């Protein structure tokens, strides 16, 4: 349990690559993706729909509202809530198949109208957070691994510290120091790259801690491999050995971690979105769940699941680029 153990507490999936002809692989993948989407939606639908709590409360729950029984009946009919749950479920699936995510209980507008504008900011945030995480993690790895006890210790310690930091705490501190006190970055908002930096860092720093930890241990492992010695014996410089050989092996576990992290960034972005007053799916999700806005919750689940699936696929492709053995042998490193 070497690789698994080092990343264990985060509970990482391992990317699984399947062997076989490209066509069959793609077909299998597509079927698997549809299944995951369907199951995710179904699970969420029934879990949330069958828990106590009337969606009517959510729909008519604005402060000071005082709807009459006629109103309630009208709403029930409008949202199809007068039907048996299973019929509602089938209706929802049918709608989903045609790209109709339903109408928000809270906002009373089509879900896509609400979530549409939130998607891009979230992806930008998650994407930049990912880039930052890798930049930090790689800097740590290349600069501190095997560079003497002191540097190694500093790198190791910082990584563990980073991984232990709660993102919201990092966000608040960054906001106070760099936006309010120093004024280097905007306090909040969604207004160009500069406004993305702090929220992305808030998410990236803890994540970088995790990526750096797994990358460090696999980098150490790689540096200890005979082929690295072999390369040195050929007369290669330290830098060439690190960049040309060790790094390539070392980033694979971190990559697996990233596949999982992107999906979770979409939801955990909520803290950065709250602190930096950014629009985004994370906030929509948390609000939707708090307000029992089932259609929005379901739609966010679909989006997150789709992101997870797509990113997993991308990582798989990247994996194959970095480690071509997979496509040939159908086994992960």
Q: How far is the CB of 230 from other proteins (least distance, A)?
A: 5
Return the number of the residue (83 or 274) whose C-beta is nearest other proteins: 274
Alpha carbon distance 285, 300 (integer Å): 6
Among 83, 95, 107, 220, binds other proteins (CB under 8 A): 107
Among 59, 128, 130, 250, binds other proteins (CB under 8 A): 59
Reduced to 3 states (helix: H, G, I; strand: E, B; else coil), residue 292 is coil
Contact 128, 203 (CB under 8 A): no
Among 39, 87, 131, 135, binds other proteins (CB under 8 A): 39
Q: Identify which of 216, 225, 87 has the alpha carbon closest to the alpha carbon of residue 160.
A: 216
With vertex at residue 194, the alpha carbon angle to CA 190 and CA 197, rounded to the nearest 5 degrees, is 90
Among 202, 304, 315, 319, binds other proteins (CB under 8 A): 304
Q: Is 82 in the site for other proteins (CB under 8 A)?
A: no
Return the number of the residue (25 or 165) whose C-beta is nearest other proteins: 165
Number of residues that bind other proteins (CB under 8 A): 136
Among 89, 207, 211, 292, binds other proteins (CB under 8 A): 292
Q: Is 57 in the site for other proteins (CB under 8 A)?
A: yes
Distance from the Cα of residue 13 to its chain's centroid? 13
Q: Which stretch binds other proteins (CB under 8 A): 82-90, 92-100, 104-112, 137-145?
A: 104-112
With vertex at residue 24, the alpha carbon angle to CA 20 and CA 25, rounded to the nearest 5 degrees, is 65
Q: Which stretch binds other proteins (CB under 8 A): 6-14, 86-94, 127-135, 136-144?
A: 6-14
> Which alpha helices (DSSP H) does 50-166 contain, by range?
55-59, 69-78, 85-97, 111-144, 149-164
Among 17, 92, 101, 106, binds other proteins (CB under 8 A): 106
Reduced to 3 states (helix: H, G, I; strand: E, B; else coil), residue 103 is strand
Binders of other proteins in range 206-235 (CB under 8 A): 206, 225-227, 229-235
- In sequence order, the 6+-apart residues with CB closer than 8 A to the CB of 224 are none
Return the number of the residue (128 or 174) whose C-beta is nearest other proteins: 174
Q: How far is the CB of 303 from other proteins (least distance, A)?
A: 11
Alpha carbon distance 202, 188 (integer Å): 13
Q: Identify which of 183, 164, 141, 187 has the alpha carbon closest to the alpha carbon of residue 10.
A: 164
Q: Is 324 in the site for other proteins (CB under 8 A)?
A: yes
Q: Is 18 in the site for other proteins (CB under 8 A)?
A: no
Q: Is 167 in the site for other proteins (CB under 8 A)?
A: yes
3-state percent helix, strand, coil for the chain, nearest multiple of 5: 75, 0, 25
């Amino acid at each position: 349990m070497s690789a698994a153990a080092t990343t264990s507490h985060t509970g990482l999936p391992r990317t699984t690559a399947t062997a076989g002809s490209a066509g069959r692989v793609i077909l299998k993948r597509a079927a698997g993706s549809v299944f995951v989407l369907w199951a995710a939606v179904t699970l969420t639908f029934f879990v949330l729909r069958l828990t106590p709590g009337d969606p009517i409360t959510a729909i008519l729950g604005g402060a000071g509202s005082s709807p009459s029984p006629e109103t309630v009946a009208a709403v029930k009919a409008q949202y199809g809530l007068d039907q048996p749950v299973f019929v509602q479920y089938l209706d929802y699936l049918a709608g989903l198949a045609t790209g109709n995510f339903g109408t928000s209980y809270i906002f009373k507008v089509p879900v896509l109208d609400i979530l549409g504008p939130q998607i891009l900011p979230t992806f930008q945030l998650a994407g930049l957070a990912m880039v930052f995480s890798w930049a930090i993690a790689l800097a740590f790895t290349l600069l501190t691994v095997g560079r003497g006890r002191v540097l190694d210790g500093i790198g190791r310690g910082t990584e563990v510290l980073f991984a232990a930091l709660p993102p919201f705490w990092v966000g608040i501190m960054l906001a106070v120091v760099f936006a309010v006190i120093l004024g280097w970055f905007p306090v909040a908002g969604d207004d160009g790259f500069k406004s993305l930096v702090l929220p992305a860092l808030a998410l990236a720093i803890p994540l970088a801690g995790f990526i750096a930890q797994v990358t460090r241990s696999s980098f150490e492992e790689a540096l200890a491999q005979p082929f690295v010695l072999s390369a040195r014996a050929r007369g290669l410089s330290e830098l060439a050995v690190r960049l040309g050989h060790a790094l390539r092996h070392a980033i694979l576990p971190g990559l697996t971690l990233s596949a999982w992290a992107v999906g979770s960034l979409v939801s955990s972005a909520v803290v950065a979105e709250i602190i930096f007053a950014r629009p985004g799916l994370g906030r929509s999700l948390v609000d939707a769940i708090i307000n029992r806005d089932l259609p929005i919750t379901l739609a966010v689940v679909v989006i997150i699941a789709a992101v997870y699936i797509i990113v997993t696929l991308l990582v798989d492709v990247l994996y194959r680029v970095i480690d071509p053995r997979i496509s040939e042998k159908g086994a992960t490193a």
